[in-house]
Amino acid sequence: MSIVNVMWASGAPFASTHKVHQQILSQVPASVPIETWLLQGHASECGVAVGKVREWGLTSARLKGRHIWRLARPWMHYKLQSALKSSDARVLLLDGLGVARALLPCIETMPHLRAVVVFHGSTRLHAADRALFQRFPASRLSVVAVSQTLATSLSQDLQRPVTTLRSAFDPTAWRSALLTREQARSRLGLPVDNTSVLGAVGRLVGGKGFACLIDAFAAALLERPDLRLVIVGEGVARAELEAKIHAAGLRGKVFLPGHVSDVGQLYRAFDWVAMPSLSEGLGLILQEAVMAGVPVIASELDVFREQLGDAGWYAPVEDVAAWRDAIARAFSANAQAIAAEQYRALAPDQAWRDFSQASRALLS
Protein backbone atom coordinates (compact mmCIF):
# COMPACT_ATOMS: atom_id res chain seq x y z
CA MET A 1 0.00 0.00 0.00
CA SER A 2 1.17 3.53 -0.77
CA ILE A 3 -0.13 7.08 -0.36
CA VAL A 4 -0.27 9.61 -3.19
CA ASN A 5 -0.09 13.24 -2.05
CA VAL A 6 -1.55 15.41 -4.84
CA MET A 7 -0.73 19.12 -4.78
CA TRP A 8 -2.07 21.87 -7.03
CA ALA A 9 1.28 23.64 -7.52
CA SER A 10 4.69 24.41 -6.08
CA GLY A 11 6.37 27.72 -5.31
CA ALA A 12 6.26 30.32 -2.54
CA PRO A 13 2.48 31.02 -2.80
CA PHE A 14 1.80 27.38 -1.89
CA ALA A 15 4.51 26.99 0.76
CA SER A 16 2.13 26.86 3.72
CA THR A 17 -0.06 24.27 1.99
CA HIS A 18 2.92 22.03 1.35
CA LYS A 19 3.99 22.50 4.96
CA VAL A 20 0.60 21.29 6.24
CA HIS A 21 0.68 18.21 4.01
CA GLN A 22 4.22 17.47 5.12
CA GLN A 23 3.11 17.54 8.75
CA ILE A 24 0.18 15.22 8.03
CA LEU A 25 2.36 12.77 6.13
CA SER A 26 5.01 12.81 8.85
CA GLN A 27 2.63 10.55 10.79
CA VAL A 28 2.74 7.80 8.16
CA PRO A 29 4.86 4.76 9.13
CA ALA A 30 8.26 4.74 7.44
CA SER A 31 7.38 1.44 5.76
CA VAL A 32 4.56 3.06 3.75
CA PRO A 33 5.76 4.60 0.45
CA ILE A 34 4.65 8.16 -0.33
CA GLU A 35 4.56 9.73 -3.76
CA THR A 36 3.82 13.42 -4.34
CA TRP A 37 2.20 14.55 -7.57
CA LEU A 38 2.65 18.19 -8.54
CA LEU A 39 -0.03 19.10 -11.05
CA GLN A 40 1.82 22.36 -11.77
CA GLY A 41 5.33 23.60 -11.06
CA HIS A 42 8.58 21.87 -10.19
CA ALA A 43 9.86 19.90 -7.23
CA SER A 44 12.77 22.31 -6.82
CA GLU A 45 10.28 25.04 -5.91
CA CYS A 46 8.44 23.09 -3.18
CA GLY A 47 10.65 23.87 -0.20
CA VAL A 48 9.60 20.57 1.40
CA ALA A 49 10.27 16.95 0.51
CA VAL A 50 7.50 14.36 0.75
CA GLY A 51 8.50 11.14 -0.98
CA LYS A 52 9.17 10.67 -4.66
CA VAL A 53 7.86 13.59 -6.74
CA ARG A 54 6.13 13.34 -10.10
CA GLU A 55 5.68 16.56 -12.10
CA TRP A 56 2.63 16.65 -14.37
CA GLY A 57 3.32 20.03 -15.99
CA LEU A 58 -0.35 20.94 -16.40
CA THR A 59 -1.58 24.50 -16.88
CA SER A 60 -4.36 26.10 -14.85
CA ALA A 61 -6.49 26.36 -17.99
CA ARG A 62 -6.11 22.64 -18.64
CA LEU A 63 -6.78 21.67 -15.03
CA LYS A 64 -9.87 23.84 -14.86
CA GLY A 65 -11.13 22.81 -18.30
CA ARG A 66 -11.21 26.35 -19.65
CA HIS A 67 -12.01 27.11 -23.27
CA ILE A 68 -10.73 24.42 -25.65
CA TRP A 69 -9.27 22.44 -22.75
CA ARG A 70 -12.80 21.46 -21.73
CA LEU A 71 -12.67 18.97 -24.60
CA ALA A 72 -9.42 17.52 -23.25
CA ARG A 73 -10.61 16.86 -19.71
CA PRO A 74 -11.58 13.22 -20.41
CA TRP A 75 -8.05 12.61 -21.73
CA MET A 76 -6.52 14.25 -18.63
CA HIS A 77 -8.71 12.10 -16.37
CA TYR A 78 -7.69 9.01 -18.34
CA LYS A 79 -3.98 9.80 -17.87
CA LEU A 80 -4.40 10.42 -14.13
CA GLN A 81 -6.50 7.27 -13.73
CA SER A 82 -3.96 5.18 -15.63
CA ALA A 83 -1.18 6.43 -13.37
CA LEU A 84 -3.21 5.53 -10.29
CA LYS A 85 -3.96 2.06 -11.63
CA SER A 86 -0.27 1.39 -12.19
CA SER A 87 0.58 2.50 -8.66
CA ASP A 88 0.05 0.70 -5.39
CA ALA A 89 -1.92 3.66 -4.01
CA ARG A 90 -4.74 3.08 -1.58
CA VAL A 91 -5.10 6.59 -0.14
CA LEU A 92 -5.00 9.97 -1.90
CA LEU A 93 -4.29 13.14 0.07
CA LEU A 94 -5.75 15.95 -2.04
CA ASP A 95 -4.90 19.64 -1.78
CA GLY A 96 -8.22 21.45 -1.69
CA LEU A 97 -11.11 21.91 -4.08
CA GLY A 98 -9.15 22.39 -7.31
CA VAL A 99 -7.30 19.11 -6.91
CA ALA A 100 -10.50 17.36 -5.80
CA ARG A 101 -12.22 18.50 -9.00
CA ALA A 102 -9.38 17.01 -11.05
CA LEU A 103 -8.88 13.71 -9.16
CA LEU A 104 -12.22 12.62 -7.69
CA PRO A 105 -13.82 11.89 -11.09
CA CYS A 106 -10.83 9.64 -11.82
CA ILE A 107 -11.41 7.34 -8.85
CA GLU A 108 -15.19 6.87 -8.92
CA THR A 109 -14.72 3.49 -10.61
CA MET A 110 -11.74 2.54 -8.42
CA PRO A 111 -13.38 1.36 -5.18
CA HIS A 112 -10.07 0.35 -3.59
CA LEU A 113 -9.02 4.02 -3.44
CA ARG A 114 -9.96 6.35 -0.62
CA ALA A 115 -9.48 10.13 -0.76
CA VAL A 116 -8.83 12.73 1.93
CA VAL A 117 -9.47 16.30 0.75
CA VAL A 118 -7.83 19.00 2.89
CA PHE A 119 -9.32 22.50 2.73
CA HIS A 120 -6.85 25.20 3.75
CA GLY A 121 -9.16 28.20 3.41
CA SER A 122 -12.64 29.31 2.42
CA THR A 123 -13.56 28.68 -1.20
CA ARG A 124 -16.48 29.15 -3.54
CA LEU A 125 -18.38 25.91 -4.02
CA HIS A 126 -20.62 25.35 -7.03
CA ALA A 127 -23.58 23.01 -7.33
CA ALA A 128 -21.41 20.67 -9.41
CA ASP A 129 -18.88 20.51 -6.57
CA ARG A 130 -21.53 19.51 -4.05
CA ALA A 131 -22.83 16.86 -6.44
CA LEU A 132 -19.31 15.51 -6.96
CA PHE A 133 -18.69 15.14 -3.23
CA GLN A 134 -22.10 13.57 -2.67
CA ARG A 135 -21.27 10.78 -5.10
CA PHE A 136 -18.76 9.40 -2.58
CA PRO A 137 -19.76 7.70 0.67
CA ALA A 138 -17.97 8.64 3.87
CA SER A 139 -16.05 5.36 3.71
CA ARG A 140 -14.32 6.54 0.53
CA LEU A 141 -14.05 10.28 1.02
CA SER A 142 -12.99 12.27 4.08
CA VAL A 143 -13.27 16.05 3.99
CA VAL A 144 -10.89 17.87 6.31
CA ALA A 145 -10.51 21.54 7.32
CA VAL A 146 -7.52 23.07 9.06
CA SER A 147 -9.63 24.88 11.67
CA GLN A 148 -12.95 24.42 13.44
CA THR A 149 -14.14 27.76 12.06
CA LEU A 150 -13.53 26.58 8.50
CA ALA A 151 -14.93 23.10 9.18
CA THR A 152 -18.25 24.50 10.44
CA SER A 153 -18.68 26.72 7.39
CA LEU A 154 -17.65 24.00 4.96
CA SER A 155 -19.92 21.38 6.52
CA GLN A 156 -22.91 23.68 6.11
CA ASP A 157 -22.00 24.33 2.48
CA LEU A 158 -21.26 20.72 1.51
CA GLN A 159 -24.01 19.19 3.65
CA ARG A 160 -21.68 16.43 4.82
CA PRO A 161 -19.43 15.91 7.86
CA VAL A 162 -16.12 17.77 7.83
CA THR A 163 -13.31 16.73 10.15
CA THR A 164 -11.32 19.43 11.93
CA LEU A 165 -7.60 18.82 11.64
CA ARG A 166 -6.08 21.96 13.13
CA SER A 167 -2.61 22.09 11.66
CA ALA A 168 0.14 21.90 14.23
CA PHE A 169 3.89 21.46 14.56
CA ASP A 170 6.12 19.53 16.91
CA PRO A 171 6.97 22.43 19.26
CA THR A 172 10.20 20.85 20.49
CA ALA A 173 11.57 20.38 16.97
CA TRP A 174 10.32 23.83 15.99
CA ARG A 175 12.09 25.64 18.80
CA SER A 176 15.33 23.70 18.28
CA ALA A 177 15.64 25.16 14.77
CA LEU A 178 15.18 28.81 15.81
CA LEU A 179 18.06 31.23 15.50
CA THR A 180 18.93 33.53 18.39
CA ARG A 181 17.71 37.11 18.35
CA GLU A 182 21.13 38.37 17.24
CA GLN A 183 21.49 35.71 14.51
CA ALA A 184 17.97 36.29 13.19
CA ARG A 185 18.40 40.07 13.06
CA SER A 186 21.73 39.73 11.27
CA ARG A 187 20.07 37.41 8.74
CA LEU A 188 17.44 40.09 8.03
CA GLY A 189 19.92 42.96 8.03
CA LEU A 190 18.42 44.52 11.17
CA PRO A 191 20.25 46.21 14.06
CA VAL A 192 21.23 43.65 16.71
CA ASP A 193 20.76 46.23 19.46
CA ASN A 194 17.57 46.90 21.45
CA THR A 195 15.70 48.48 18.52
CA SER A 196 12.02 47.55 18.81
CA VAL A 197 10.87 45.58 15.76
CA LEU A 198 7.35 44.64 14.66
CA GLY A 199 7.42 41.70 12.24
CA ALA A 200 4.95 40.33 9.73
CA VAL A 201 5.23 37.31 7.45
CA GLY A 202 3.18 36.43 4.40
CA ARG A 203 2.63 36.87 0.70
CA LEU A 204 2.44 40.48 -0.43
CA VAL A 205 -1.18 40.36 -1.57
CA GLY A 206 -4.19 42.45 -0.65
CA GLY A 207 -5.80 39.79 1.53
CA LYS A 208 -2.94 39.87 4.03
CA GLY A 209 -3.80 43.43 5.09
CA PHE A 210 -0.26 44.82 4.88
CA ALA A 211 -1.39 48.15 3.41
CA CYS A 212 -3.45 48.79 6.55
CA LEU A 213 -0.54 47.66 8.70
CA ILE A 214 1.84 50.15 7.08
CA ASP A 215 -0.65 53.00 7.53
CA ALA A 216 -1.19 52.05 11.17
CA PHE A 217 2.54 51.74 11.77
CA ALA A 218 3.15 55.19 10.27
CA ALA A 219 0.62 56.62 12.71
CA ALA A 220 2.14 54.72 15.65
CA LEU A 221 5.56 56.19 14.84
CA LEU A 222 4.29 59.60 15.94
CA GLU A 223 4.16 58.17 19.46
CA ARG A 224 7.00 55.64 19.15
CA PRO A 225 9.56 56.92 16.59
CA ASP A 226 12.03 54.19 17.62
CA LEU A 227 9.97 51.37 16.09
CA ARG A 228 10.80 49.42 12.94
CA LEU A 229 8.51 47.26 10.78
CA VAL A 230 9.68 44.26 8.74
CA ILE A 231 7.31 42.45 6.36
CA VAL A 232 8.88 39.22 5.09
CA GLY A 233 7.39 37.85 1.89
CA GLU A 234 6.93 38.44 -1.81
CA GLY A 235 3.95 39.00 -4.06
CA VAL A 236 2.05 41.07 -6.58
CA ALA A 237 1.38 43.93 -4.12
CA ARG A 238 5.07 44.78 -3.67
CA ALA A 239 5.00 47.86 -5.93
CA GLU A 240 1.89 49.20 -4.18
CA LEU A 241 3.42 48.71 -0.73
CA GLU A 242 6.74 50.24 -1.77
CA ALA A 243 4.92 53.28 -3.14
CA LYS A 244 3.05 53.63 0.16
CA ILE A 245 6.30 53.40 2.12
CA HIS A 246 7.92 56.05 -0.09
CA ALA A 247 4.93 58.40 0.00
CA ALA A 248 4.79 58.25 3.81
CA GLY A 249 8.53 58.88 4.20
CA LEU A 250 9.03 55.49 5.87
CA ARG A 251 12.27 54.41 4.22
CA GLY A 252 14.61 53.24 6.94
CA LYS A 253 11.58 52.50 9.13
CA VAL A 254 9.73 49.86 7.09
CA PHE A 255 11.58 47.03 5.33
CA LEU A 256 10.44 44.54 2.69
CA PRO A 257 13.25 41.98 2.47
CA GLY A 258 11.31 39.73 0.06
CA HIS A 259 10.96 35.97 0.25
CA VAL A 260 13.29 34.43 2.83
CA SER A 261 13.58 30.65 2.61
CA ASP A 262 14.42 30.12 6.28
CA VAL A 263 11.87 32.58 7.70
CA GLY A 264 10.64 29.91 10.13
CA GLN A 265 13.93 30.22 11.99
CA LEU A 266 13.83 34.02 12.25
CA TYR A 267 10.89 34.89 14.50
CA ARG A 268 13.11 35.88 17.41
CA ALA A 269 14.24 38.87 15.34
CA PHE A 270 10.88 40.40 16.23
CA ASP A 271 9.48 41.77 19.48
CA TRP A 272 5.90 41.36 18.23
CA VAL A 273 4.35 39.77 15.15
CA ALA A 274 1.37 41.36 13.37
CA MET A 275 -1.24 39.38 11.43
CA PRO A 276 -3.58 41.95 9.81
CA SER A 277 -5.21 39.42 7.44
CA LEU A 278 -8.65 40.07 6.02
CA SER A 279 -9.41 36.34 6.26
CA GLU A 280 -7.53 33.09 6.98
CA GLY A 281 -8.20 29.38 6.90
CA LEU A 282 -5.93 28.97 9.94
CA GLY A 283 -2.93 31.29 9.87
CA LEU A 284 0.17 29.18 10.48
CA ILE A 285 2.21 32.31 11.14
CA LEU A 286 0.32 32.77 14.40
CA GLN A 287 1.33 29.31 15.61
CA GLU A 288 4.92 29.74 14.50
CA ALA A 289 5.34 33.09 16.26
CA VAL A 290 3.77 31.93 19.51
CA MET A 291 5.88 28.76 19.57
CA ALA A 292 8.95 30.96 19.07
CA GLY A 293 7.99 32.95 22.16
CA VAL A 294 6.91 36.07 20.26
CA PRO A 295 3.50 37.61 21.04
CA VAL A 296 1.00 38.28 18.24
CA ILE A 297 -1.40 41.07 17.34
CA ALA A 298 -4.03 39.65 14.99
CA SER A 299 -7.11 40.71 13.09
CA GLU A 300 -10.38 40.15 14.88
CA LEU A 301 -11.17 36.87 13.12
CA ASP A 302 -12.95 33.82 14.52
CA VAL A 303 -10.13 31.54 13.40
CA PHE A 304 -7.57 33.50 15.45
CA ARG A 305 -9.82 33.55 18.53
CA GLU A 306 -10.25 29.81 18.09
CA GLN A 307 -6.52 29.44 18.70
CA LEU A 308 -5.68 32.15 21.26
CA GLY A 309 -8.99 32.93 22.95
CA ASP A 310 -8.82 35.77 25.45
CA ALA A 311 -5.01 35.66 25.45
CA GLY A 312 -4.93 37.13 21.95
CA TRP A 313 -4.47 40.78 21.11
CA TYR A 314 -6.94 41.72 18.38
CA ALA A 315 -7.78 44.68 16.17
CA PRO A 316 -10.68 45.00 13.69
CA VAL A 317 -9.93 44.14 10.07
CA GLU A 318 -8.56 47.12 8.11
CA ASP A 319 -9.20 49.58 10.97
CA VAL A 320 -6.10 51.77 10.78
CA ALA A 321 -6.81 53.68 14.00
CA ALA A 322 -7.41 50.49 15.99
CA TRP A 323 -4.25 48.89 14.62
CA ARG A 324 -2.27 52.05 15.46
CA ASP A 325 -3.51 51.90 19.04
CA ALA A 326 -2.78 48.18 19.28
CA ILE A 327 0.79 48.64 18.06
CA ALA A 328 1.49 51.51 20.46
CA ARG A 329 -0.05 49.60 23.37
CA ALA A 330 1.89 46.43 22.53
CA PHE A 331 5.26 48.12 22.71
CA SER A 332 4.42 49.54 26.12
CA ALA A 333 3.42 46.12 27.50
CA ASN A 334 5.39 43.20 28.94
CA ALA A 335 5.90 41.21 25.74
CA GLN A 336 7.47 38.24 27.52
CA ALA A 337 4.51 37.78 29.85
CA ILE A 338 2.02 38.13 27.00
CA ALA A 339 3.95 35.61 24.89
CA ALA A 340 3.83 33.11 27.77
CA GLU A 341 0.07 33.62 28.14
CA GLN A 342 -0.49 33.11 24.41
CA TYR A 343 1.64 29.96 24.48
CA ARG A 344 -0.53 28.51 27.24
CA ALA A 345 -3.68 29.37 25.27
CA LEU A 346 -2.36 27.81 22.06
CA ALA A 347 -1.19 24.71 23.99
CA PRO A 348 1.07 23.56 21.13
CA ASP A 349 2.20 20.36 22.87
CA GLN A 350 -1.38 19.09 23.20
CA ALA A 351 -2.25 20.44 19.75
CA TRP A 352 0.60 18.42 18.25
CA ARG A 353 -0.54 15.24 19.99
CA ASP A 354 -4.12 15.76 18.79
CA PHE A 355 -2.96 16.53 15.26
CA SER A 356 -0.71 13.48 15.13
CA GLN A 357 -3.43 11.14 16.34
CA ALA A 358 -6.03 12.56 13.93
CA SER A 359 -3.62 12.40 10.97
CA ARG A 360 -2.82 8.75 11.62
CA ALA A 361 -6.53 7.94 11.80
CA LEU A 362 -7.24 9.69 8.50
CA LEU A 363 -4.47 7.93 6.62
CA SER A 364 -4.74 4.48 8.17
Tally of domains in the chain? 2
Number of C-beta neighbours around residue 76 at 10 A: 19
pLDDT in tens, the chain (364 residues): 789 999 998 887 788 888 899 999 999 998 999 999 999 988 887 766 777 899 998 888 787 777 676 776 888 888 999 999 999 899 999 999 999 999 999 999 999 999 999 999 888 899 999 999 999 999 999 999 999 999 999 999 999 999 999 988 899 999 999 999 999 999 999 988 889 999 999 999 999 999 999 999 999 999 999 999 999 999 999 999 999 999 999 999 999 999 998 899 999 999 999 999 999 988 999 999 999 999 999 999 999 999 999 999 999 999 999 999 999 999 999 999 999 999 999 999 999 999 999 999 999 8
pLDDT in tens, 253-297: 999 999 998 899 999 999 999 999 999 988 999 999 999 999 999
Mark whether 140 and 221 lie in a shared domain: no
Number of C-beta neighbours around residue 323 at 10 A: 26
Mark whether 29 and 58 lie in a shared domain: yes
Mark whether 186 and 308 lie in a shared domain: yes
Give the domain extent around 8.
Answer: 2-165
Mark whether 155 and 237 lie in a shared domain: no
Reported pTM: 0.87
- The predicted pLDDT at position 11 comes to 81
| CATH number of the domain to which 273 belongs | 3.40.50.2000
pLDDT in tens, 302-327: 999 999 999 999 999 999 999 999 99
The answer as to whether 354 is a domain residue is no
| CATH number of the domain to which 147 belongs | 3.40.50.11930
Mark whether 52 and 187 lie in a shared domain: no
